[in-house]
Structure 1
């Protein structure tokens, strides 16, 4: 009896300590991260609008779409601030469902756009001239619109159907936590893990690996052709002006422009995106799986909620890092970011 009494009296103290930790995390880390996400991705939008050099490249339209998705993440984070401060959701069950739809849609759009950028880079390396002639801003807009509509429709259907079937809108405790309970359903947990993390990570990895080997093989071919050109310089002029040699030189110039430093920088950019994506998203799903298979007791429920908040925060950091990657890997974005920071 004495042990159980001490245990119950210690619970308020533990919860009070966790509340202090929550205040520190929200004030020192969560809010600044939301501000960085908002400012960084706003810089991307402004840079795209003001710089014709950025708009000229159709691939940057995907980066614009990624910035819009990440900007929506910052809005969702700002709405979550009262919940993370107090531990209680006070805006009703319906708005909680809508917010969850926006949350999952924004994060999924960020992931799907990274895949679209990887596919676009793969097609460009495959055939640069055909990609340049067939790709347009209109096509990119159509592709991004389809992805947005698909993600929004999928998560709206899932959230409203799941909440009605589980009685979420009539459960005051779940509404107070703004938790639809996806993590407690094995089918939903596995599907979100596959669609949002595993399949995108494998797709981006496979596409980047293919691009890397193609660029490496193309570099070897260029070096071989350059060696032939040096050898042909010793041949008399009458033999150098053949149509075959002229075609080879033209082809070499085309491939040199298609497989130069621009593609290598893009490959490094995509590799960085993949690494950041894995580091930010993997802890979230590890925690979700742990929480599913080792359901917490009443005494550790507050601690479990706090850990879930931290894992979601780590996942959202991905949206703060993406604009920084633009600044370090794209000269035009870097120039505009410097102007914005200097208020010029």
Structure 2
């Protein structure tokens, strides 16, 4: 009886320690992150609504869509709050499946929007006039709607089919932890790694690289033209009006071309930052998935799993600050919201 009592007391102490750690982690990391995601992306939405200068650029409509997806991440975190705090899911199997669909859909949509922004910037640099003539807010809205439908349909099909085939809806233990079991299937791990991380990262990197080389070549050509124009203007007679007219036109192109190039370079830096943050936030999640499958035979370390998921969600908290640091109009609006001069 004494041994049994000591064992029970030990288990209770361990559970108490786990609960204490959960409370600390939720209070120090989880809640502040959710609040930052909600406030930061709400600022983006408000800035887009109130500032015509932001709405004038159709690329910012993609940023609006990214902010919506990131804002929904905070909703997912709010739904996830009881599970993080107690380690138990109290809302049933069907609700768990719907919640997982929402979770994966909004994170996938965030990734797809980053790709769409990269493609838009590449097309702008490749052929600005053609892209501007074809691009519109309506076109962007249609593209974003199609991406939402694809992500939602894909994740719904995967979640409901997989949970049905693995008997999730009849397994009370898995329902109690809202564990559909994606991490225990190698095919699902590989597919998600390719679709959600590797292919998007390669696409964004390749597009940014093309944008960089095009901008570099354009800058080199502009510098060569400036040198040639300087020599022509120096050698031309003062009364040669044709030469002066040509020089004025080239000077106009130099000024406006350099301004456009500067804008493209800022956009390229913004996309590079998006890619770096995306890689840092998403890579630990898939490293943990692969390690769990190959070395732990699917037996997850819950604390580590929660940590890498939290790091993944941090991507949605960082994105709004990238807008503030790389876009002067967003920065002005953010300062007004925070009442900073």
Query: What's 1:280 paired with?
Result: 281
Contact map agreement 1:232 1:240 (CA 8 A) in 2 = no
Q: Secondary structure at the match of 1:284?
A: helix
Query: What's 1:262 paired with?
Result: 263
* 1:168-226, Cα deviation, whole Å (9 max, x unpaired): 11100100110110000000000000000011111111111111111111111000001
CA distance, structure 1, for counterparts of residue 312 and residue 215 of structure 2: 32
Contact map agreement 1:93 1:178 (CA 8 A) in 2 = yes
Contact map agreement 2:292 2:298 (CA 8 A) in 1 = no
Pick from 273, 285, 304 the counterpart of residue 307 of structure 1: 304
CA distance, structure 2, for counterparts of residue 297 and residue 101 of structure 1: 21
Contact map agreement 1:265 1:329 (CA 8 A) in 2 = yes
**1:262 CA drift (Å):** 1.1
CA distance, structure 2, for counterparts of residue 212 and residue 7 of structure 1: 64
Pair 297,328 (structure 1): closer, same or farther in 2 beyond 3 Å = closer
**1:52 CA drift (Å):** 0.1
Query: What's 2:325 paired with?
Result: 328
Pair 297,218 (structure 1): closer, same or farther in 2 beyond 3 Å = closer
Q: Which runs of 5+ in 1 are unaligned?
A: 1-5
CA distance, structure 1, for counterparts of residue 211 and residue 298 of structure 2: 49
Q: Work out whether 1:340 is the aligned partner of 2:341.
A: no
Pair 9,287 (structure 1): closer, same or farther in 2 beyond 3 Å = farther
Pair 271,8 (structure 1): closer, same or farther in 2 beyond 3 Å = farther
TM-score when normalising by structure 2:
0.92
Contact map agreement 1:18 1:306 (CA 8 A) in 2 = no
**1:10 CA drift (Å):** 5.6
Q: Work out whether 1:202 is the aligned partner of 2:202.
A: yes
Contact map agreement 1:122 1:207 (CA 8 A) in 2 = yes
Q: Secondary structure at the match of 1:88?
A: coil
CA distance, structure 2, for counterparts of residue 178 and residue 245 of structure 1: 70
Contact map agreement 1:34 1:74 (CA 8 A) in 2 = yes
Pick from 307, 313, 318 the counterpart of residue 316 of structure 1: 313
Pair 128,15 (structure 1): closer, same or farther in 2 beyond 3 Å = same
**1:258 CA drift (Å):** 3.0
List aligned pairs for 1:84-103, cutoff 5 A.
84-103=84-103
Pair 56,281 (structure 1): closer, same or farther in 2 beyond 3 Å = same
Q: Which runs of 5+ in 2 are unaligned?
A: 1-5
**1:57 CA drift (Å):** 0.3
Give the CA RMSD over aligned residues. Answer: 2.4
CA distance, structure 2, for counterparts of residue 211 and residue 343 of structure 1: 35
Pair 68,138 (structure 1): closer, same or farther in 2 beyond 3 Å = same
**1:7 CA drift (Å):** 9.4
List aligned pairs for 1:140-219, cutoff 5 A.
140-219=140-219
Query: What's 1:3 paired with?
Result: none
* 1:72-130, Cα deviation, whole Å (9 max, x unpaired): 10000000000000000000110100010000000000001001101111111111122
**1:232 CA drift (Å):** 1.4
* 1:304-329, Cα deviation, whole Å (9 max, x unpaired): 11211111001000000000111111
Q: Work out whether 1:271 is the aligned partner of 2:272.
A: yes
**1:12 CA drift (Å):** 5.2
CA distance, structure 2, for counterparts of residue 332 and residue 273 of structure 1: 18
Contact map agreement 1:76 1:102 (CA 8 A) in 2 = yes
Contact map agreement 2:65 2:144 (CA 8 A) in 1 = yes
Contact map agreement 2:236 2:243 (CA 8 A) in 1 = no
**1:8 CA drift (Å):** 9.3
Pair 190,53 (structure 1): closer, same or farther in 2 beyond 3 Å = same
